[in-house]
Structure 1
Amino acid sequence: MNEIKAKIKTFLSKFFGNHDLQQDEDIFALGFVNSMFAMQLVLFVEQEFQVAIENEDLEFENFRTINSIANLVERKTSLVIHQ
């Protein structure tokens, strides 16, 4: 899980400049996220972690923080493993 969070933080940090993003910090509340960035974030998660983000996964709660994105990846990867 820590490796997943580290990869997510590295990706997000490219867009957040000098801001030291914390794992439970709301990226939407910080004002860094627009619709184009949200699309990039979904693509990053799909490509980096080899998971398919379905329409039902596209909720703010799943992408609000590093922790919530990591939890989504964990759920998606455990689904793949158990199938």
Structure 2
Amino acid sequence: MTVEQNTGTGAIGAPDIEKALLAFLDGHIKTSVAPDQDLFGSGLVTSMFAMQLVVHLEETYDIAIVGPELKLDNFRTVQRMTELVLRLREQEGVTQGA
């Protein structure tokens, strides 16, 4: 499933990604988190769940998270995941519908 949002061009912004990630996490860990909360440091998320996050981000935002992008720091907070998605979508040229 890819994301088509708001502007008619398929562009999606940081607030949309952040909101969707917070909802995804709330549904899976049954706890509300802040966008800058360290998910792993707080014990809310395990490294096993990190793989679910990778799959979710790849499928939802039509990106490939490989190589150096697979470091835990990219998944530590909702803000960092949002930055990762935006960076990869820009690199892959995903600014319009896939």
Q: Using structure 1 for the length normalisation, give the TM-score.
A: 0.89
Alignment-derived partner of residue 58 in structure 1: 70
Match in the other structure for 1:41: 53
Structure 2: distance between partners of 1:65 and 1:56: 17
Q: Which has the higher helix share?
A: 1
| Alignment-mate amino acid for residue 17 of structure 2 | I
Question: Is residue 2:32 matched to residue 1:25?
Answer: no
Larger Rg computed on CA atoms: 2
Paired-residue identity, %: 33
Query: RMSD in angstroms over aligned alpha carbons?
Result: 1.4
Please tell me the residue identity of whatever aligns with 2:57.
Answer: V
Matched length = 81
Q: In structure 1, the residue corresponding to 2:88 is in which secondary structure?
A: helix
For structure 1, the 5+ residue unaligned runs are none
- Point out where structure 2 has 5 or more consecutive residues left out of the alignment: 1-13
Runs (4+) of structure 1 exceeding 3 A deviation are: none
Question: Please, what TM-score do these two structures have when normalized by structure 2?
Answer: 0.76
